[in-house]
């Protein structure tokens, strides 16, 4: 009450003008998005479309559990796992190779160039890579492997380069100073220090790649995704729901396994 | 004679173990390569090479014709609209489920009482619902919804709404539980309702983090909207899918560049908004 200005009182109330205008702007943008897409939410959630949805969902039960189809699902799951594993492995190798110039070990020009290449590889989403690789290598899991390898090389290359830059230089330097060749100094000096981190990044990416590998099949890159797309296109909803359940089981299993491995590593002190 | 002749041959004590691991790795690698149908020679198959050469050859110059750029612009706006509407729906789903899940807002947890079991059961149900929503990959939701609602952005918006609703719900509950929960608990213990405890107890502390995460997810949703276009949910992705199916390299390279610019723009916008709300 003593001569506090309007601005001071407003600030004391915690009134943030730009916060409120931002929120209002975002609300307007949300409303505009719905309007632009001509999405009539009321119609979407109306009774009749609800009934239609329910009918659609009921067609998915019961899932097909015949032995022959389960065998196909098993094969699809193995294919998905193989795509993700091989893709991540290739990416780890390529990432390590690209990390050397990207960490500046071969000069600043190569560093800039490699970082650009790594960014380009990472920015293109896996599905787009998969569609491109289907053109290059034909339908099937090979395209999926290549797609994951290309995208993940960009991700792992950058992570590996950062690890390399933060690695302690003393072991390698002491080796070179006592006469070792630079390549050997790298392998025995720097690499052992960063290997646990590299392996950890690669395993984490493998986990994510298993999820990606299940959907890459939608553009023809093999695995459970290709099966799902195929069954849905033929309107075999029962088979499709089996594939979806298999996908869920795979993801849950991988999450649990990796959590278990991580807890084990922590206990051992890794 | 010389020093090295008198030295016993040094043996690497680890050699046998490493050879064993290498053998195991090869044994695992071989079936992997077979199952994944890894045939690098296919890349150099005459037909595939011809297709790729023709396709990639058209990348430069990219298609910059007026009507195509108009199409791309409309598709970009559609993608942004899909992401925004999708996140809005996701928040609609995530806020109630997240609030139900938060045990800082749980009255039954405060003391021994009759409703403890019921409270836990409701929370477990909410957790399972969120798990299913997030566990199914968003592209699978998109594919199913395209079958249900037809081609176009409606399927994409709902798919983003469902998946990101699951993600946002879980993270909202984690954020609300991780901050300082004593004000909320004090309000609950003195008889205030849960909503009041949320708005006056938790929101002032956690509000900025909630908003920041939501904006980050909006940026992810922009990328997801593009990808969903590949299964028919509209936007840039559908345009790219169509151009690729027609092997039109010029159009694909234009769309790729626009996509990369869009991702950069969304990233910059997200960083700006998050700093603004700080």
Whole domain around residue A85: which residue ranges? 67-268
Residue A227 lies in a domain: yes
Dihedral, A14, A19, A20, A21 alpha carbons, nearest 10 = 140
Say if A128 is an interface residue toward chain B (CB within 8 Å).
yes
Which candidate from B85, B135, B154 shows the least CB-CB separation from A252?
A: B135
Confidence label for A41 from pLDDT (cuts 50, 70 and 90)? low
Q: What is the pTM of this model?
A: 0.82
User: Do B166 and B262 fall into the same domain?
Assistant: yes
Taking only the tens place, the pLDDT of each residue in B131-172 is 888 878 888 888 888 888 888 888 899 999 999 999 999 898
Q: Best mutation site among B21, B26, B29, B36 for testing chain A: the one with the most A CBs within 10 Å?
A: B36
Highest mean pLDDT, choosing among A61-70, A128-137, A155-164: A155-164
Which candidate from B32, B139, B277 shows the least CB-CB separation from A86?
A: B32
Share the mean pLDDT of chain A: 85
CA separation for the pair A114, A116 (Å, rounded): 5
Q: Which helix (H) or strand (E) holds B16?
A: helix B15-35
Q: Which residue has the higher pLDDT, A3 or A220?
A: A220
User: Do B38 and B175 fall into the same domain?
Assistant: no
Which candidate from B48, B241, B256 shows the least CB-CB separation from A136?
A: B48
Q: What is the CATH number of the domain that holds B117?
A: 1.10.3720.10
Residue A2 DSSP label? -
* Region B94-107 average pLDDT: 80
Share the mean pLDDT of chain B: 84
Q: Report the pLDDT value the prediction gives residue A270, as an integer from 0 to 100.
A: 43
CA separation for the pair A186, A105 (Å, rounded): 11
Q: Domain total for chain B?
A: 2
Q: Domain total for chain A?
A: 2
CA distances from B111 to A146, B116, B202 (A): 56, 9, 20
Residue A39 lies in a domain: yes
Residue A1 lies in a domain: no
Q: Spell out the residues 6+ positions from residue A126 whose beta carbon is closer than 8 angstroms to its own.
A: A147, A148, A151, A212, A216
Query: How many other CB atoms sit within 10 Å of the CB of residue B233?
Result: 33
* Region A211-226 average pLDDT: 88
Say if A123 is an interface residue toward chain B (CB within 8 Å).
yes
* Region A229-249 average pLDDT: 87
User: Do A261 and A218 fall into the same domain?
Assistant: yes
Percent of chain A with pLDDT over 90: 30
Q: Report the pLDDT value the prediction gives residue B33, as an integer from 0 to 100.
A: 87
């Amino acid at each position: 009450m003593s001569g506090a200005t309007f601005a001071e009182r407003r600030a004391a109330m915690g009134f943030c003008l730009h916060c409120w205008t931002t929120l209002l702007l975002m609300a307007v943008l949300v409303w505009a998005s719905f309007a632009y897409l001509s999405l009539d939410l009321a119609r979407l959630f109306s009774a009749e479309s609800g009934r239609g949805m329910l009918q659609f969902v009921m067609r998915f039960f019961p899932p097909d559990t015949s032995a022959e189809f389960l065998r196909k699902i098993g094969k699809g799951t193995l294919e998905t796992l193989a795509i993700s594993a091989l893709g991540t492995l290739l990416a780890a190798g390529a990432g390590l190779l690209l990390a050397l110039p990207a960490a500046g070990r071969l000069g600043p020009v190569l560093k800039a160039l490699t970082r650009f290449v790594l960014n380009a590889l990472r920015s293109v989403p896996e599905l787009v890579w998969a569609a491109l690789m289907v053109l290059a290598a034909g339908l099937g899991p090979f395209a999926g492997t290549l797609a994951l390898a290309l995208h993940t090389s960009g991700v792992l290359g950058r992570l590996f380069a950062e690890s390399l830059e933060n690695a302690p230089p003393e072991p390698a330097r002491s080796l070179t100073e006592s006469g070792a060749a630079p390549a050997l100094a790298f392998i025995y000096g720097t690499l052992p220090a960063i290997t646990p981190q590299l392996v950890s990044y690669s395993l984490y990416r493998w986990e994510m790649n298993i999820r990606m590998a299940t959907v890459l099949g939608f553009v023809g890159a093999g695995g459970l995704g290709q099966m799902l797309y195929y069954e849905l296109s033929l309107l075999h909803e029962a088979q499709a729901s089996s594939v979806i359940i298999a996908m869920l089981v795979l993801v849950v299993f991988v999450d649990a396994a990796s959590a278990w491995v991580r807890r084990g590593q922590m206990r051992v002190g890794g | 004679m010389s020093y090295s002749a008198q030295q016993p041959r040094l043996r690497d004590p680890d050699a046998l173990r490493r050879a064993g691991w290498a053998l195991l790795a090869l044994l695992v690698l071989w079936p992997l390569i077979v199952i994944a149908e890894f045939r690098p020679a296919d890349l150099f198959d005459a037909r595939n090479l011809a297709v790729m050469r023709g396709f990639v050859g058209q990348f430069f110059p990219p298609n910059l014709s007026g009507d195509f750029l108009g199409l791309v612009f409309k598709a970009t706006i559609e993608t942004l609209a899909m992401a925004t509407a999708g996140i809005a729906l996701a928040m609609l789903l995530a806020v109630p489920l997240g609030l139900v899940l938060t045990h800082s807002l749980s009255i039954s947890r405060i003391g021994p009482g009759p409703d403890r079991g019921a409270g836990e059961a409701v929370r477990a149900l909410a957790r399972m619902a969120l798990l299913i929503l997030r566990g199914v990959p968003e592209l699978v939701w998109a594919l199913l919804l395209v079958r249900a609602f037809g081609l176009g952005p409606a399927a994409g918006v709902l798919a983003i709404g469902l998946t990101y609703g699951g993600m946002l719900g879980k993270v909202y509950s984690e954020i609300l539980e991780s901050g300082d929960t004593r004000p909320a608990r004090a309000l609950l213990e003195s008889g205030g309702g849960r909503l009041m405890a949320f708005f006056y107890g938790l929101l002032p502390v956690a509000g900025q983090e909630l908003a920041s995460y939501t904006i980050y997810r909006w940026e992810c949703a922009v990328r997801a909207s593009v990808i969903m276009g590949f299964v028919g949910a509209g936007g840039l992705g559908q345009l790219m899918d169509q151009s690729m199916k027609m092997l039109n390299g010029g159009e694909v390279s234009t769309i790729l560049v626009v996509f990369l610019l869009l991702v950069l723009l969304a990233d910059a916008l997200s960083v700006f908004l998050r700093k603004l709300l700080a």
